[in-house]
Chains A and B, each alone.
Chain A
Amino acid sequence: DQQVKQNSPSLSVQEGRISILNCDYTNSMFDYFLWYKKYPAEGPTFLISISSIKDKNEDGRFTVFLNKSAKHLSLHIVPSQPGDSAVYFCAAPHTGNQFYFGTGTSLTVIP
């Protein structure tokens, strides 16, 4: 059972526009969420996180929004750049050991 879901396997956006990647979760006990970015042939790298006590966290061009009532979070990238083209995973840690990851969304930023 997928506890963290990314329902869009791919997304294409024009350079300079906003990219919005979505993630839904089912476990209301999750209290921290992370986004990872993965280039081909490389491992995922941490991008940005958000605690459940917040509804927004911003870091440069990247902003993560959390809607606890809807069990939904989103990653906004603005302006999008070609170097942002990668697979993005959302993740939630549970019990300190296990991390639940979504299936990923492949973002393509078109120059």
Chain B
Amino acid sequence: GAGVSQSPSNKVTEKGKDVELRCDPISGHTALYWYRQSLGQGLEFLIYFQGNSAPDKSGLPSDRFSAERTGGSVSTLTIQRTQQEDSAVYLCASSLALAGGRWDTQYFGPGTRLTVL
């Protein structure tokens, strides 16, 4: 497909379990973002990958959250020891990165709805 894909679309887990969320960006997009949207909140920035540079992890809410991007393409967001407050829709976006650190339009995936019981 031509768009950003995410899997799974829905994930229900028990408190304390680990979860992995996957994002396949648009081919050729070097920038990849993770966001989450909790109920009644806006999109909250989590982490940003750009090519081979060190990721910007400044938005990760705790050390239970981590993400990696293998081969500059697929990304996995891992949440360890999930808590009920982690319940949210997790959105991935990719974009072309422009010169000089400027950004281009982000294309979002459909999201993964995570529910922690």
Contacts and interface: CB of A to CB of B under 8 A. Distances in A.
Interface of A: 2, 4, 6, 9, 36, 41-46, 89, 91, 93, 96-104
Could you say which of A6, A91, A102, A103 has the most chain B C-beta atoms within 10 Å of its C-beta? Answer: A103
Contacts of B45: 98-100
25 contacts: A4-B42, A6-B42, A9-B40, A36-B108, A41-B111, A42-B110, A43-B4, A43-B107, A43-B109, A44-B91, A44-B108, A89-B42, A91-B43, A93-B103, A97-B56, A98-B56, A98-B58, A98-B59, A99-B45, A100-B42, A101-B35, A101-B44, A102-B42, A103-B40, A103-B42
Nearest to A2: B42
Contacts of B93: 43
A100 B44 CA distance: 7
Interface residues of B, number: 27
A99 B106 contact: yes
Contact of A103 (B41, B91, B106, B109): B41
Contacts of A98: 45, 48, 56, 58-59
Contact of B106 (A4, A41, A46, A100): A46
A102 to B, nearest CB: 5
A42 B92 CA distance: 11
Nearest to B6: A43
B108 A101 contact: no
